[in-house]
Structure 1
Amino acid sequence: MENELLEDLVVIFTLAVAMVVALRRVGVPSIAGFIIAGVIVGPNVLGIVDDVHEVEVLAEVGVALLLFGIGLELSLERMRRLWRLILAGGALQVFSTIAVVGAILRASGFYFSTAVFFGCVIAISSTAVVLSALRTRGDIDAPHGRLTLGILIFQDLCVVPMILMVPLVAGAAPPGALAIAVLKSAAVLVAVLIGARFLAPRLLAFVAHTRQRDVFVLSMFLICIGTAWLVSAAGVSLALGAFLAGLVVADSEYRHQALSDLIPFREMFASLFFVSVGMLLDPRSIAGQALPIFGLLAVIVSGKAMLATFASLALKLPLRVSMLAGLALAQVGEFSFVLLSAGRGAMTLPQPFTDNLAVAIVVSMLITPLIITVSPSVTAGMGRSPVLTRRLGVRTPADRPRDASPMQGHVIIAGYGLNGRELARSLEDCGIPYIIVDINPENVRGALERAEPAYFGDVTSSEVLESLGAAHARELVLVINDVDATIRAIRAAKRLAPELPIFARVFYAAEIERVIRAGATEVVAAELEAAVEVTHRILERCKVRSDTIAAQMDGIREHREEEFNGER
């Protein structure tokens, strides 16, 4: 038995590595490679791995580690700032999807209970697939990444009530059972959060004092898998339990060590989850029912994308951010199979539709990484609607009075986050004229409250740049959190004003080359500047002479410049 499992794992990892390497050469994300590998080795194609259950057990560990790692990258404090997106955005997306799907199926002749049930199935997206794809692109902390995360958390919270609702809808459970179960689940989550909040730091402090790395790694596994198991045993989503455990550890001083120790295990086990998803797909089913399956897939993906976009717009979020989140949430998730299983046991479901839906769900998860990869290009230039900006209560560059004097010699600041605010303050103190543009209406309203010359707009638009006087500006400063948008803004500015100096900030040193090639005059990487600042302060504390420190700082930048030139 053990040898069979090892043989299966060898085959899975061999084919997965080959598929990922081959597909990456043509720009296909690695998640899609894992799913395709699962299709090939699974029982429906080559049949090399016939015991899918063994792989699924390891895959559950992968899901737990994946969500635990994502929780580590966030924190409870940051999650508290997402409460509006979680509650309002999540509720709007889930309930609007249930209502629309239910209404369509009811009009198509389905029973009311069956229509509502399928609405619940389709409303859930794949937390593991979406967050993995966003993490690969570095988009989890982008505005659309935070919005997507908030909605996914609400969906995970809804899984248990939905499962408990199945016998109620089917008439097989007493009234009030759902409310009791929901209260029980909420109590379990609160108890886990409180317990982990007090127990996890003490356990980690005790383990850290032993100075044994292997014990620390095992403790991380214990917190992750243990919390996930406890929450799952109480009927709540295993993934949500692991995510909460990660959030708790993220607020401790052991966050970075935990993340670095778990990354290799997380990637290995998480790949098994995506392989197990591929094993569920039967290509013969697609061949026999291609038209209804792909028709259903198209309706689900486009419908969910639109509903999630409208839900986000209802929160007065920018159109492009809303569309990016909508496209990321367009698939149906793995927990929908749990719902389908519960539904089959409690009510009579139409067999052909249910089978086609199951295949469409797997295919929707397969194409999700591709959708997320191309979505920035698809949504480029969105968010310029005058009707939308009026509804958001902000002004655009086009709203400047026609008799206003033309802007010249000014600095255009794109992005009014911390960097943008501090730059604006310094320019004001130095008497240098500037103008601010941001695609986040809340940032624009905050700037207007400070009497700043701020406008709502997409800096990747040539029309917006022209309205901001880019042709006569002294400098364009791009301090936005999306490197793809930064590159599009540079290209738009160069088309309008080829001689305009452009300063860009990126987060990672690896992104500098792309931005320079796009036409930026100067690029600063937050990662590199942090390394310079850390080195500077440590050398100062070590009483190193100032001229030696300056030479070391120059050396760090020169070393990075040599690496950059070598890579080119």
Structure 2
Amino acid sequence: MQEDFRLIVDLVSVLAAAAAGGLFAALLKQPVLLGYLAAGVIVGPTGLGLIKEIIQVETLAQFGVAFLLFALGVEFSFSELKKVKVISLGGGGLQIALTILVTTLVSLAMGWVTSPPQGVFLGGILSLSSTAVVLKCLMERNETSTPHGQVMLGILVVQDLALGLMLAVLPALDQPAEEVGLAIGWALLQTGLFALGAVAAGIWVIPRLLRLLAKTESRELFLLGVVALCLGIALLTEHLGLSIEMGAFVAGLMISDAEYADQTLTYVEPLRDIFASLFFASIGMLIDPVFLWNNLELILGLVTLVFIGKFLIVTPLVRIFRYPLKTALIAGLGLAQIGEFSFVLASEGQTLGLVSRRVYLLILGTTAVTLVVTPFVLRLVPKLFAWGESIPWLAKFLEQSDEPLAISEDLPIKDHFIVCGYGRIGRNIVRLLRDRNHPVLVIDQSESQIQKVRDAGIPYIYGNAASSYVLEKAGVAEAKGMAIALPDPMSTRLCVKRSLEISPDLDLVVRANKDKDIELLYQLGAREVVQPEFETSLELSAHLLAGIGIPSPAVQREVQMIRNSHYLEFRPDQASEEISRDLKAVTGEMNSRWYALPEESPLLGMSIEETDIRRLTGVSVMAIRRAGGLTIDYPESLTTLEQGDRLLIVGETDEVAAFDQLARGEAAVPSTNSSCQWLQVPSESPLIGKTLLELELQQRYKITIQTIRRDGKLIRFPEPDAEIQNGDRLLLCGGFHALTQAQEALSPKTEVPLITTSIAEAES
């Protein structure tokens, strides 16, 4: 077969196999990345042998990595890189150095290598993590802008930069120390000069070039120019002895702050996805399943060592740079693999005689397995945290890690507004509120954003907005309202849920990151959910309708109707199966379970609104599956619970236990004419030290204590022998007249702060 036609056949074979493998993985609800790798194994030389010469395919696959990192650079931008410059430069550099040092010492001690240079080489391979795999996983989960996403990408950028340095040093490893020093110095000088040139081009050349391409109004010319720019800079870095991947990333950074960055990203994304699938399939072709099977025990042992070793190096480093424990744990798990660029190092090392053929194959096998395992590990992270929070001592340890890192001295204490997230949306909200002289408090866990808040003289809490500790410090119970504009969907959901646990009637508005989050956030209790793209459509439509003479009140009524319908007119029609699949996906990331209502449950025949489940137990009902098979996703508040219902509920372990008590009739369900009051227990109160049984509230006044709030925690349906402690807040529920009598009897002679509300305003 002719050589040029052979390339076409190989390319078509790889793309077809990748498409089939990705589809099969998606149908099995597995990461498509796994399908691409499996496809490469099947069609490669060690599989069916459809592709015997993989050099040409590997060359094309390099385009995939280049476009992947180019798109990352466009999205990441210099401004985003500045947010994590400390952890990326300091943490990334330390991680590489520590990994090389530990690997060298361990490999020499265990006899895996015969000389220190070989240990250094092996450490260099293990120090690199997979930018392509981690980036793809973060993009699929919409987590590239989250704190852990930023930390991982920041460290990965430094690792990619270090690849060029490692390739420059490799030939000198067996030489005297002065030659190694010269190689390092020359590589650093090249990198520095290239960085200066990139900065200069990003300021003076690239924006003008993009404007010139855009003026042609030709999509083809714009795309061609951008691709030529990306690959041209990538080839320049290759010529300088650095890496193609690093050049592509820097090219993306150069475009990121230009005015046509979004348009560039839109055009390049299809190319990126196609060539990225080629890249992952080409990695699969390098995997020899027979060698893996024959050395399975050894390779699994090496994989375990790599995961544990890198996790134990990365996690403490991220903590040292003052990131929360959860962020450090996710970063440690996400970076605990060997990267695809290690293939490049390993191949070069084999050529230079630093490793034998067998060690080279072991490195390839270990790398391949870690790449396959990583998407599963990142998927399991939310469930691992949910499991950890179900264990009391571990939950306490995790919660303590979420304590604020810094708190300004001038925090407002009452009738203030809380803004979670100080990005572009958060900044605009803060400015509008402050212009009207409303007290505002900002919560953010980005050091760079907090510094902006400090400079502006705005009260702040530097910490995780999804942490109960942080929300308590922010005075959510006394706040007038809250706006949540966090980049992370999971943090957004937890922030909504935990804020409403503290103050169920809080005026809470939240930005939805995705369309499928809208109903979920409403179900969790948000007062208003805003989807930026839909809001833009509404404002544009309102302007056009007003321009053709439709009265402004009529336009505003129409706009408000669309908002009240949760943007239903704008969202694509979905089959019930699709809605259920999306619901299962988002609740699967939270602590959720199906709960069968007991046959004699007092909740039967009551609506969700009447049961007041979320207020009393903290649990949110996401779906109801009737005995006849009908499933009601995102049930409305007036939906009645029936015999044989199974409820999909979301809540922490203690909240699910409280709901179980309520559903079984072991805890009192307030009647529809009940009211509730919060009673604050001051330090001089005669209630301190007494048990609930001794108070005899049920016998005297027909009053029950539904909840005790203590040290930021809710004790639902406390036991009769529970003692009242200083600082407790008691939720008393019963008839209004009885509550008044109980209030007078329980209050000490000194004035006791008391908040009285209806059942619809129980916790404030």
Normalised by the size of structure 2, how large is the TM-score?
Answer: 0.65
How many Å apart are 1:118 and its aligned residue? 0.9
How far is 1:273 from its partner?
A: 0.5
2:236 match: 230
Cα distance, 1:385 vs. partner? Answer: 5.8
Is 1:269 the counterpart of 2:269? The answer is no
Shift of the 385–560 alpha-carbon distance from structure 1 to 2, 3 Å rule, reads: closer
What whole-Å deviation, never above 9, does each CA across 1:491-522 have from its counterpart, x for those lacking one?
Answer: 44566666666432223434323333444332
SS in structure 2 at match of 1:331: coil
Partner Cα separation in structure 1 for residue 445 and residue 201 of structure 2: 40
Aligned-partner SS, 2:323: coil
2:366 corresponds to 1:366: no
Whether the aligned pair in 2 keeps the contact of 1:93 and 1:307 (CA below 8 Å) is yes
Letter in 2 for 1:33: G
> Which residue of 2 is the match for residue 150 of structure 1?
154
**1:529–1:44: structure 2 CA closer, same or farther, 3 Å change rule?**
same
1:460–1:489: 8 Å Cα contact kept in structure 2? Answer: yes
Alpha-carbon distance in structure 2 between the residues aligned to 1:79 and 1:442? 11
Cα shift readout 1:316-351 (whole Å, capped 9, x = no counterpart) = 222222222222222111221221122223344355
Match of 2:40 in 1: 38
For residues 523 and 83 of structure 1, what CA distance do their matches in structure 2 show? 33
2:361 is aligned with what amino acid? D
1:224-254 Cα offsets, whole Å, 9 max, x none, are 1111111112111101111111222233333
Structure 1 or 2, whichever has the larger Rg, is 2
Corresponding residue for 1:75? 77
CA contact (8 A) 1:411 1:475 kept: yes
Judge conservation of contact 1:208–1:216 (CA < 8 Å) in 2.
yes
- Change over 3 Å in CA distance of 1:9–1:185 after alignment to 2: same
Displacement of 1:141 in angstroms is 2.0
Residue of structure 1 in register with 2:246 after alignment: 240
Tell me the distance in 2 between the aligned counterparts of 1:181 and 1:434: 49
Superposed, 1:121-160 pairs within 5 Å as 121-160=125-164
Deviations for 1:388-422, whole angstroms, at most 9, x for unmatched residues?
578x85369xx9xxxxx9x8877655445555566
1:295 correspondence with 2:295: no
Shift of 1:74: 3.2
In structure 2, the residue matched to 1:161 is: 165
Instruction: Summarize the alignment of residues 100-499 of structure 1 with structure 2, pairs less than 5 Å apart.
Output: 100-109=102-111, 110=113, 111-171=115-175, 175=179, 176-195=182-201, 197-349=203-355, 352-379=358-385, 394=406, 413-417=419-423, 419-420=425-426, 423=429, 437-440=443-446, 454-455=460-461, 458-461=464-467, 477-492=483-498
Distance 2:213 2:435 in 1: 51
1:264-290 alpha-carbon deviations (Å, 9 max, x no partner): 222111110011111111221221111
Please list the CA deviations of residues 11-32 of structure 1 after superposition, one character each: whole Å capped at 9, or x if unmatched. Answer: 3333322322332234322222
- SS of 2:305's equivalent in the other structure is helix
The C-alpha deviation readout for 1:433-455, integer Å capped at 9, x for no partner, is 77665445676687688786654
Specify every segment of 5 or more residues in structure 2 that has no aligned partner in the other structure, as ranges: 390-394, 580-764
Q: Structure 1 residues 271-280 or 493-502, which shifts more?
A: 493-502
Q: 1:560 aligns with which of 557, 567, 575?
A: 567
Tell me the amino acid that sits aligned with residue 337 of structure 2: Q
Cα distance in 1 for partners of 2:488, 2:482 equals: 16
In 1, distance between residues paired with 2:507 and 2:193?
Answer: 57
Q: Which moved more, 1:452-461 or 1:91-100?
A: 452-461
Query: Which secondary structure does the structure 1 equivalent of 2:406 belong to?
Result: coil
Alpha-carbon contact 1:318-1:441 (below 8 Å) kept = no
Q: Which structure's relative contact order is higher, taking Cα pairs within 8 Å and 6+ residues apart? A: 1
Q: Verify the 8 A CA contact 2:416 2:480 in the aligned structure 1.
A: yes
Q: Give the aligned residue type for 1:562.
A: E
User: Measured at CA, do residues 46 and 100 of structure 1 come closer, stay the same or move farther in structure 2, by a change above 3 Å?
Assistant: same
1:76 and 1:464 map into 2 onto residues whose CA distance is 30
Whether the aligned pair in 1 keeps the contact of 2:440 and 2:458 (CA below 8 Å) is no
Q: Deviations over 1:514-540 (max 9, x none)?
A: 333444332112333344445566788
**Which residue identity is paired with 2:318?**
S
Counterpart-to-counterpart distance in 2, 1:339 and 1:449: 45
How far off is 1:71 after superposition?
Answer: 1.9
> Residues of 2 paired with 1:456 and 1:219: CA distance?
43
2-structure distance, mates of 1:209, 1:451:
43
Q: Is the 8 A contact 1:414 1:420 kept in 2?
A: yes
Give 1:84 deviation, angstroms.
2.7
Q: Which amino acid in 1 is paired with 2:154? A: G
**Does residue 503 of the first structure (1) align with residue 503 of the second (2)?**
no
Q: How many Å apart are 1:456 and its aligned residue?
A: 5.3
Structure 1: which amino acid aligns with 2:46? N
How far apart are the structure 2 equivalents of 1:316 and 1:466?
21
Q: 1:85 is aligned with what amino acid?
A: I
Q: Which moved more, 1:438-447 or 1:248-257?
A: 438-447
Q: Counterpart of 1:142 in structure 2: which amino acid?
A: T
Report which stretch shifted further, 68-77 or 347-356. 347-356
Structure 1: runs of 5 or more not aligned: 400-404
Q: Give the secondary-structure state (helix, strand or coil) at the position aligned to 1:503.
A: strand
Q: Quote how far apart the aligned CAs of 1:431 are.
A: 8.1
Q: Distance in 2 between matches of 1:538 and 1:250?
A: 32
Question: CA, structure 1 residues 184+552, in 2 after alignment: closer, same or farther (shift >3 Å)?
Answer: same
Question: Aligned letter for 1:131?
Answer: L
Partner amino acid for 1:88?
A: G
- Partners of 1:231 and 1:537 lie apart in 2 by 49
Letter in 1 for 2:65: V
How many Å apart are 1:550 and its aligned residue? Answer: 3.8
CA contact 1:320–1:383 (8 Å) conserved in 2: no
408 and 182 in structure 1: CA distance in 2 versus 1, 3 angstrom threshold: closer
Cα distance between partner residues in 2 of 1:465 and 1:299: 39
TM-score by length of 1: 0.85
The secondary structure found in structure 2 opposite 1:22 is helix
Distance 1:437 1:6, change over 3 A: same
Residue 561 of structure 1 aligns to a residue whose secondary structure is coil
Structure 1 contact 94–155 (Cα < 8 Å) conserved: yes
Conserved? CA contact 1:305–1:330, under 8 Å: yes
Whether contact under 8 Å (1:389, 1:395) holds in the other structure is no
The answer as to whether partners of 1:170 and 1:346 remain within 8 angstroms in 2 is no
Instruction: Report deviation, 1:138.
Output: 2.2
Structure 2 counterpart of 1:402:
none
**Structure with the higher strand share, 1 or 2:** 2
Q: Which residue of 2 aligns with 1:47?
A: 49
- Look up the equivalent residue of 1:339 and give its one-letter code: L
1:242 & 1:538 partners in 2: Cα distance? 42
Q: How many residue pairs end up in the alignment? A: 560
Q: Is the 8 A contact 2:83 2:448 kept in 1?
A: no
Instruction: Find the counterpart in structure 2 of residue 86 from structure 1.
Output: 88
